[in-house]
Amino acid sequence: MSLRCSQKIENKKVQEKCDSFELERDFDNFSTALGNDDSLILIVNASICVWSEMDRLVFIKKDGNVRFNTTVHIWMENEEIHKLGTVEYTKATDSLNFENLFKFVSDKGISRQGVNSSVFTLIHGKDTLRLYSDHLLDHMENLGYFANIQRRFYPDAEMYNTVLEPTEE
């Protein structure tokens, strides 16, 4: 039986178990399941072809509210580091939230293979969960989903507002 922290439990022993966040069980419900003063780290492999980028998000729950900050590392000719600041994470009621993104990628059931890479790495304490892409188009779809979510929280961040303009031939 898998418990969710949003469930009401009468038995004190079971309640204590429910209060502790378990990455494998709670990753797609982390904003609710994290305990107070608890944190979750998300590492995003945003590299594609010759573009080399890694985003690091740190989620912290304090007084029942989840806030996160984002640091973007871009390695091209030189290393660029962009610290985007801390924002409050409010889980959107539509599909553009991190929990739905993690579930979307997880539900694909893609395991580590020789040539694929983990697009999302979640870290809680000593536990690590990796969510994989299958091929380039899948990787791009997952990163597009991520960028759409980030755009809500960082509307002025250039790296999440890239739009390809159609060209005339």
pLDDT digits (tens), the chain, 169 positions: 333 444 444 444 433 444 588 998 998 889 999 999 999 999 998 887 777 889 999 999 999 999 999 999 988 777 888 899 999 998 878 788 999 999 999 888 777 665 557 789 999 999 999 988 888 888 888 999 999 999 999 998 888 876 555 556 5
* DSSP-assigned beta bridge partners for residue 41: 58, 123
**What does the alpha-carbon distance between residue 112 and residue 69 come to, in Å, rounded to a whole number?**
28
| Whole-prediction pTM | 0.80
Residue 51, pLDDT score: 77
CA-CA distances (angstroms) from residue 7 to 31, 110, 143?
A: 14, 29, 32
Residue 5, pLDDT score: 45
Give the DSSP H or E segment for 152: helix 136-153
Helices (H), 49-127: 98-107
Contact of 135 with 116, CB cutoff 8 Å:
yes
Residue 87, pLDDT score: 95
Residue 98, pLDDT score: 93
Length of the chain: 169
Give the DSSP H or E segment for 45: strand 39-45
Residue 108, pLDDT score: 82
